[in-house]
Amino acid sequence: MLLQMRQITKTYGNLTANSNVDFSLRQGEIHALVGENGAGKTTLMRILYGMEQPTAGSILLNGKEVVFTNPTEAIRHRIGMVHQHFMLFPSFTVAENIVIGNEPKKGMAFDRKKAVQQVEDLCAKYRLPIDPHKKVAECPLGLQQRVEILKVLYQGADIIILDEPTGVLTPLEAKELLVIMRSLANQGKSFIIITHKLHEVMEIADRVTVLRDGKITGTLDAAATSVEELSKLMVGRDLLESAKREVKLGETVLQVKDISILGAKGKPVLDRVNLQIKAGEIVGIAGISGNGQSEFIQAISGLLPIDQGEIHLLGQNVTGRTVREIREIGLSHVPEDRYQWGAAKEGTVLDNGTMGHHRTRSRSGFLQGKELRQMVDRFIQQFQIKAGSQDTKVKYLSGGNLQKLIVAREIAQNQPFLIAAEPTRGVDIGAMELIHEELLRKRDEQGAILLVSSELTEILKLSDRILVMYEGRIAGELSAENATEEQISLWMAGGDSNA
């Protein structure tokens, strides 16, 4: 056995993150680590990578006990980790990012030419082509993921930990990553992947270990299990199947008329986009990241000015209105980036849970503290948010638990129109089920929802109509009944809209 983690326990005061966990890894194996948010997956891997020290337990590499007090020691033992949020320098080139910390020298100076050559050799060895001269800021997320993998390979890693590796990738990028992982595993590299995406687990993993509340509930051969069995081990119950109900469409809630936004050098980021959403429907927008979806959302919500066209919400022209004005007219918004747009990391769970609600829950200029705490407590209970207390800073929450808090907060605004951008990014399968049910409930209650997601399964499951964006335009539209993954993927890749 290449790696053994024996009886690993990790406590933080009264909180037990891992309890007597046994985990192993074979050479050339892809071993998936799954579980709900807060189950202890990332904590276990942070211990393996030297970012945390266990309260009890031991780690064995090739049968010999090792102790890592920091990541440098783990790297020295040929263990690398690619974090959920990439740790790259956007203004540096691909080559500079890969060799940083172990740069080749020419005398006392950085040998840029040798660095480029080393990266080219690395790319050729592992069949992972990329331009070493390209700035990381110019690379799509799929290529940034490749840079992260090349970086740990450059460090000599034989064991590679991937934390939510496809969380920010498009379906095509995700499939490409799975191919890369299998190719590297065939060359003797070993992978541990932390993920919520059980269909990917079934596609790529050799074995699967399930954590629930810090304890192992099962380690299974992927070929001998199923998504249903893994789901039950994760959440402790059978999952319900969300089902859309027929709802009569109401009045037009959102109307986008011929809007355009010009980007660098006058090239349109959005090019004469039209859209209408009525009460009682979910309209889904699919598309590869960078094709205008983000700008479209920001334009509707008032974060980004438009150069042409009009936006009407509930019959009012909101073009050029402020974010606050648009929200007060009738918009709530689950943003695609929870850290940049959705939360104040230094704020508490209470602070973040009450954002936007403070205006409606104040009397004579005074916040109703007890009422707000009761509301946030309902969020925590309903969405099973794992937080020490309402006074815990959200920077200490897992990404999935923060996502659940934001979704709960925005749905509770009870506005006629909701933008749900990547609403289940980084959440576990149980929370995904709950969020989907809440979105469908809002739709059934005559809410209008714009759903933007890189998960085609989510778009197909929830949407009544589906639009695909490509290079800032609507490339095609389908009803839910006529939509297929093949047709949507074709439009996402720029295929013929008449196909």
Give tens-digit pLDDT for 19-52: 999 999 999 999 999 987 778 898 999 999 999 9
Q: Residue 72 sits in a domain of what CATH number?
A: 3.40.50.300
Does residue 497 lie in a domain region? no
Same domain, yes or no, for 203 and 283?
no
Same domain, yes or no, for 306 and 263?
yes
Q: What pLDDT does 493 receive?
A: 72
Same domain, yes or no, for 214 and 276?
no
Does residue 453 lie in a domain region? yes
Place of tokens 């840029």: 112
Q: What pLDDT does 8 receive?
A: 97
Same domain, yes or no, for 224 and 343?
no
Q: What pLDDT does 241 receive?
A: 59
Same domain, yes or no, for 364 and 479?
yes
Does residue 351 lie in a domain region? yes
Reported confidence tier of residue 220, pLDDT bands at 50, 70, 90: very high
How many Cβ atoms are within 10 Å of 364's Cβ, its own excluded?
4
Above 50 in pLDDT, residue 169? yes
Same domain, yes or no, for 258 and 284?
yes
Does residue 245 lie in a domain region? no
Place of tokens 């994760």: 234
Does residue 129 lie in a domain region? yes
Same domain, yes or no, for 296 and 203?
no
Q: What pLDDT does 499 receive?
A: 42
Does residue 146 lie in a domain region? yes
Same domain, yes or no, for 227 and 266?
no
* Average pLDDT along the chain: 89
Q: If you average pLDDT over residues 314-341, what whole number do you get? A: 94
- The whole model's pTM is what? 0.67
Same domain, yes or no, for 332 and 381?
yes
Q: If you average pLDDT over residues 365-376, what whole number do you get? A: 80
More confident residue, 289 or 403: 403
Q: What pLDDT does 66 receive?
A: 96
Same domain, yes or no, for 167 and 299?
no
Alpha carbon distance 274, 195 (integer Å): 36
Domain count, the chain: 2
Domain boundary residue among 191, 210, 235? 235
Domain boundary residue among 185, 200, 235? 235
Above 90 in pLDDT, residue 492? no
More confident residue, 195 or 406: 406
Would strands 215-221 and 207-212 be described as parallel, antiparallel, or unpaired? antiparallel
The 10s digit of each residue's pLDDT in 335-356 is 988 888 899 999 999 999 999 8
Q: What pLDDT does 362 receive?
A: 61
Alpha carbon distance 460, 337 (integer Å): 22
Q: What pLDDT does 243 receive?
A: 58
Does residue 246 lie in a domain region? no
Above 60 in pLDDT, residue 498? no
Same domain, yes or no, for 226 and 370?
no
Q: Which domain holds residue 395?
A: 252-492
Would strands 190-194 and 30-35 be described as parallel, antiparallel, or unpaired? parallel
The 10s digit of each residue's pLDDT in 76-114 is 999 999 887 778 899 999 999 999 988 999 888 999 999
Domain boundary residue among 208, 235, 262? 235
The 10s digit of each residue's pLDDT in 392-438 is 999 888 888 899 999 999 999 999 999 999 998 877 777 888 899 99
Same domain, yes or no, for 215 and 333?
no
Does residue 28 lie in a domain region? yes
The 10s digit of each residue's pLDDT in 222-261 is 999 998 898 888 877 665 555 566 778 999 999 999 999 9
